[in-house]
Structure 1
């Protein structure tokens, strides 16, 4: 049904994932570098994608890189960072035309791989470290990114919810880092951190498309072995047992109210599910989330937004590496208590089994279609497969879809009963009715 195979080759210092499929006309190569989320290093790590895109030893400027990509028949490159559970992931993505479909272009793959290796291992240096002029410029770019969150109130409310909910957990850390760290970052300490990251973090490389595996391996493996010959292991060392802690009991739910000058209030609620990608009831949680707030046909959308006209938007999403479920809603400030109570009623309705088998079947079909659509895109399939690496747990997409379609109503009710409200966060206007 899904039309692909994945073969994993574990090497000293890195893992290769060969994904063979005839679905795409391109060849995608994605490097995933997994490190621990840590307050001391998060801002350096957030800055690295900006630096690595600015040039290499052979392509000294961003313009030189762009020209090389154009020469590779319009190859596309992106580098970014993100957090999944208690891990920070640096991702480098290169999408190339498949040389099978381009006449007289037999070197595209080899040149593309060489470029990606150079971007990762051979960035432009001045006097043995990063270029200070580039560091100064890109620190300013990152600063603007950090500050821009203030202008996106939905994103700001989500960040504040996570800060409060996970105040003693590394998941609270901002993915873009912290403004107060930038002054101390310089070309030398950032370069030292970058070298340490390559030697200590877990590196997984995905090669996806219609290709000859032996040919790709013969090009890629020697390049990687040369760069990582001093790397002792590709197993990430956890800083402490708390690093992977996903089960947490809620002793006392928190309510946080913050006030700013705004028209629309943001009511975000965080729940502990204590269910992650590794758990047997992960598929049931998928179905629960679909019924509860994952789609326009879900309880939150229908009851909070449509029936009671209390929200501009209302939805929920799972954090599958952390065991959280987050509710987002935009409301009129004066409707806070009504909206809060109706959201809580939807949780109770789910715990009481207040949904039909027809509703459940529709949601299963929607989730299945959503997963299949994700896999229609080269990057989407890789992200789904990488969930297994993050969790250290084998659950291929086909098995996940099969599991979802086997979920019973009782399974959904049981997983609903695991939900515990942890933190309610309201970002509201100054001088609204709640002041009285």
Structure 2
């Protein structure tokens, strides 16, 4: 049994409290939400999250933070950034033992809020800048991480196909920015990003667990949020018009396994109800499951791919298909992929196939509701979309999808971009 409470802590700072006894811990996420204006913000906000996560004035290094978390009976903490459609979320994620599992009368709520307040509002500064060694260490770590993405050929192909497809430079990049961004960002840039975050960002505080509402309100009121004019959030879902001409790009590298990636425009986003779930089921049937057409027909029966999968982004109105293949099989694989999509559009799949896919999707949702982290992320996204996304709602939406719904969703797919990372000895682009 759970109850939900929503209120505004300060203008632009919203609280959503999901009161339940499902988990032995209390989950808390503080999300600073900003509509991205340029691609460089991807890197600056990611670097800022890394700096704030690693130290503060009260906890000057990772060791001090670890000791404090141990003192709080093994509380967990982390900071991260994510991109949801047009929005950037800089999250502080925290969990601690629920009062029920402590000594009578004991609660970690006040101490937890104080810890997070120190981390968020009292960073480790020196002469108005972040501690130089902290800044440099985090910047180096992220440059290395970005280089690792580029060195992974599956990730490299994904970046290339996104750059070919998206009109918006923000959507073209990884959610963490580029290596060039990290080389150019200065300590002063990150201090400015931090100040803007505190003044400008909308804030969503999501708390889930067995707590007393009045106690929670008293504790959260201790956060030092500024009284400022925060930006109004606009549309979370990114969209762009479909184009009539397919972009085709090939890059040759000395790699053994070639990558063929495609992006299809699908004008169904997360705001739509019935068709959103139809698109979810359609994607699972296409390539989002071991029971899917791409997996069964391209990878297993034809033995034409090392992997063949699809993913649907309801926040970007697109379906991405990724395959790992032999370069000589390019034309055959492309034909097979198009045949699987045509089969969905023509309803050439059985009721049994559809039923199995729906059962698999429902089981996934049931497993997600048993995960505190997944439940928390679901609650935050639900708030941003202003629509219910709890496990029961999603299961009902999936179960209601018919064969006709899947055909209707598949019929709206329109190929936009092909990128082929071709294995070979020569280097170059075409």
Which interval holds the TM-score relative to the shorter structure? over 0.9
Report the CA distance shift for 1:20/1:74 in structure 2 as closer, same or farther (over 3 A): same
Q: Whole-Å Cα distance in 1 between the matches of residues 135 and 198 of structure 2?
A: 19
Q: Whole-Å Cα distance in 2 between the matches of residues 355 and 6 of structure 1?
A: 41
Q: What's the CA shift string for 1:137-196, capped at 9, x where partnerless?
A: 211111101111122111121121111111435311322212223344232221121110
| Structure 2 match to 1:230 | 227
Is the 8 Å Cα contact of residues 28 and 207 (structure 1) preserved in structure 2? yes
5 Å matches for 1:20-35? 20-35=19-34
**Is 1:372 paired with 2:366?**
yes
Is the 8 Å Cα contact of residues 35 and 201 (structure 1) preserved in structure 2? yes
| Structure 2 match to 1:195 | 195
5 Å matches for 1:279-318? 279-280=272-273, 281-318=275-312
Q: What's the CA shift string for 1:338-393, capped at 9, x where partnerless?
A: 11110111000000001112221221111111112112111101222222233344
Q: Whole-Å Cα distance in 2 between the matches of residues 274 and 371 of structure 1?
A: 24
**Is 1:91 paired with 2:84?**
no
Superposition deviation, residue 295 in structure 1: 0.8
Is the 8 Å Cα contact of residues 269 and 317 (structure 2) preserved in structure 1? yes
5 Å matches for 1:206-245? 206-220=206-220, 222-224=221-223, 227-233=224-230, 235-236=232-233, 238=234, 245=238
Is the 8 Å Cα contact of residues 305 and 311 (structure 1) preserved in structure 2? yes
Unaligned runs of 5+ residues in structure 2 are: none
| Structure 1 match to 2:17 | 18
Q: Whole-Å Cα distance in 2 between the matches of residues 108 and 395 of structure 1?
A: 29
Is the 8 Å Cα contact of residues 284 and 407 (structure 1) preserved in structure 2? yes
Is the 8 Å Cα contact of residues 13 and 228 (structure 1) preserved in structure 2? no
5 Å matches for 1:27-426? 27-37=26-36, 38-103=38-103, 106-220=106-220, 222-224=221-223, 227-233=224-230, 235-236=232-233, 238=234, 245-280=238-273, 281-426=275-420
Superposition deviation, residue 277 in structure 1: 0.7
Deviates more, 1:387-396 or 1:253-262: 387-396
Report the CA distance shift for 1:104/1:129 in structure 2 as closer, same or farther (over 3 A): farther
Report the CA distance shift for 1:367/1:141 in structure 2 as closer, same or farther (over 3 A): same
Q: Whole-Å Cα distance in 2 between the matches of residues 167 and 258 of structure 1?
A: 20
Superposition deviation, residue 108 in structure 1: 1.6
Report the CA distance shift for 1:177/1:105 in structure 2 as closer, same or farther (over 3 A): farther
Q: What's the CA shift string for 1:43-85, capped at 9, x where partnerless?
A: 2112112101221111111111111011111111111112121
Is the 8 Å Cα contact of residues 198 and 226 (structure 2) preserved in structure 1? no
Report the CA distance shift for 1:79/1:245 in structure 2 as closer, same or farther (over 3 A): closer
Report the CA distance shift for 1:15/1:176 in structure 2 as closer, same or farther (over 3 A): same
Q: Whole-Å Cα distance in 2 between the matches of residues 8 and 374 of structure 1?
A: 23
Deviates more, 1:342-351 or 1:91-100: 91-100
Report the CA distance shift for 1:88/1:229 in structure 2 as closer, same or farther (over 3 A): closer
Is the 8 Å Cα contact of residues 292 and 346 (structure 1) preserved in structure 2? yes
TM-score by length of 1: 0.92
SS in structure 2 opposite 1:171? helix
Aligned-residue Cα RMSD (Å) equals: 2.1
Q: Whole-Å Cα distance in 2 between the matches of residues 324 and 112 of structure 1?
A: 40
Q: What's the CA shift string for 1:293-327, capped at 9, x where partnerless?
A: 11100101000011000111111111121111111
**Is 1:7 paired with 2:1?**
no
SS in structure 2 opposite 1:53? helix
Q: Whole-Å Cα distance in 2 between the matches of residues 342 and 183 of structure 1?
A: 43
Unaligned runs of 5+ residues in structure 1 are: none
SS in structure 1 opposite 2:32? strand
Q: Whole-Å Cα distance in 2 between the matches of residues 154 and 107 of structure 1?
A: 46
SS in structure 2 opposite 1:223? coil
Q: Whole-Å Cα distance in 2 between the matches of residues 43 and 23 of structure 1?
A: 36
Is the 8 Å Cα contact of residues 385 and 397 (structure 1) preserved in structure 2? no
Is the 8 Å Cα contact of residues 238 and 317 (structure 2) preserved in structure 1? no
How many pairs does the alignment contain? Answer: 425
